[in-house]
Amino acid sequence: MAFNFGATAGAGAANPTGAFGGFGTTTTTAGSAFSFSAPTNTGSTGLFGATQNKGFGFGTSFGTGTGTGLGTGLGTGLGFGGFGTQQQQNTLGSSLFSQPTQTPAQSNQLINTASALSAPTLLGDERDVLLAKWNQLQAFWGTGKGYFNNNIAPVEFTQENPFCRFKAVGYSLMPNNKDEDGLVVLVFNRKETDIRTQQQQLVESLHKILGGNQTLTVNVEGVRTMPDDQTEVIIYVVERSPNGTSRRVPATTLHAHFEQANIKTSLQQLGVTLSMARTELSPAQIKQLLQNPPAGVDPIIWEQAKVDNPDPDKLIPVPMVGFKELLRRLKVQDQMTKQHQTRLDIISEDISELQKNQTTTMAKIAQYKRKLMKLSHRTLQVLIKQEIQRKSGYAIQADEEQLRVQLDTIQCELNAPTQFKGRLNELMSQIRMQNHFGAVRAEERYYIDADLLREIKQHLKQQQEGLSHLISIIKDDLEDIKLIEHGLNESIPIRGGIFS
């Protein structure tokens, strides 16, 4: 399990990667990756408390998901993305790749922290023991102030302190872009729809920020949505020389220009909250980064994270400190899941459309095959008639006579009852039986020759015309009968008046 906030007891073998043998009363097992479980006493004396802590013992099973690389660098980060919310620079002089030296102030801070956690002397009685436990709880949580002496300022506990329990190690995808590609990421505090609708205005504004030089052209490589209504825009600048050649401005040069005070202010007015150069890490930088554990992360846990790396060539360990970082990675993961689902839906629609096109194409191919066969037969008939007309009036030639003899021989062989005719009759009877059984099993289907069908249509047409003519004659006769009846009805009253 990656994160355990339950009240689990530390049953089983102790975690071999004990972190900081510190001041608590907890013992965790090797099964949990990041345990906030309830403490279990081991009975041995610890460094700051009554029992020994075998370390909070989280592994590196948070996941290998990729993301943006902004902040703590979840994915395709620009130069890995740094720890916490610090901006990462791809220079060896950066704080990310340099191991901080131990200054006197840091030594005093460490001594004060140890005093606040183990032996505070603020009240001078048994209440200092309770205060020490309270300071330990604050140190575990990574927030608050640890009071330990009336004459010394309290210790400020942050999530970066080595005793904070809310830490884990994940993995981020290292960028593979070169400095010559000139890719720089700008994070806007605006929605993706707003950026896309005003993309041309954005390009013009960036061109003005670069001085409006006509030899420079700002291009947008890609636009991608991010959590919290932010948008990542990847740009590069092309510089054209007077002789007609062009090149991309290196990413580090462009990013250094954006980091100037006046330029940075102009970018902030456009809504830019962060700018980073997307360049790959050099082998020396990767080596130095892996050799030096981040602040607040136990070296043993960092070494275990390097061992558990599923793909050391593409992924790099990244510390996660606090719930905010965990929530940020969760939002990025949800965002990437939605994008993947959208892409899958598009692919599914494309597949359905291709299947429909395939069905239509197969039907057309079958239709064209039938048409081709019909045209082939018609062409053969035309060739036969043309050859007959061309050869009319000529005597039969020797090769034609030889061909006729061969055809007569084949015909005799086919008509011979002991050779092929019996077999052909047997095959024809089998075919008729199969057609009969098929018609019984399925619905009956009749196949009529085209010439016969044409004759049937002509006969039915003549019958229809005859019936129509007969109907017209009957209608005329009915009208004549009506006239006769009408005349008879009028003549009967006249005759009655005469006789009366």
Instruction: State the pLDDT at residue 369.
Output: 95
Instruction: State the pLDDT at residue 118.
Output: 86
Q: 227-285, pLDDT tens digit by residue?
A: 888 889 999 999 888 888 888 999 989 999 988 888 888 898 888 988 888 888 888 88
List all residues 6 or more positions away from 490 whose beta carbon is below 8 Å from its beta carbon: none
Residues in the chain: 500
Q: Give the span between the Cα atoms of 449 and 455, in whole angstroms.
A: 10
Predicted TM-score (pTM) of the model is: 0.48
Instruction: State the pLDDT at residue 433.
Output: 84
Instruction: State the pLDDT at residue 473.
Output: 92
- Find the angle CA(70)-CA(89)-CA(302) to the nearest 5 degrees: 75
Residue written as token pair 């459309």:
353
Shortest CA distance to 174 belongs to which of 72, 298, 80? Answer: 80
Q: Tokens for 199, please give them.
A: 């993309």
Shortest CA distance to 154 belongs to which of 203, 121, 189, 196? Answer: 121
Q: Give the span between the Cα atoms of 25 and 43, in whole angstroms.
A: 9
- Give the residues of the chain that fall short of pLDDT 50: 1-101, 500
Q: Where are the alpha helices (DSSP H) in 232-321?
A: 251-258, 261-269, 283-291, 299-307
Instruction: State the pLDDT at residue 354.
Output: 95
Q: 376-391, pLDDT tens digit by residue?
A: 999 999 998 888 888 7
Instruction: State the pLDDT at residue 439.
Output: 58
DSSP letter for each residue of 160-207: TSTT-S-EEEEEEEPP---GGG--EEEEESS-HHHHHHTHHHHHHHHH
Collapsing DSSP to helix, strand or coil, 223 comes out as strand
The conformation of residue 447, written as its DSSP 8-state character, comes to -
Instruction: State the pLDDT at residue 438.
Output: 64
Task: Give strand ranges (E) for 183-336.
Answer: 184-188, 216-226, 230-240, 246-248, 272-277, 315-321
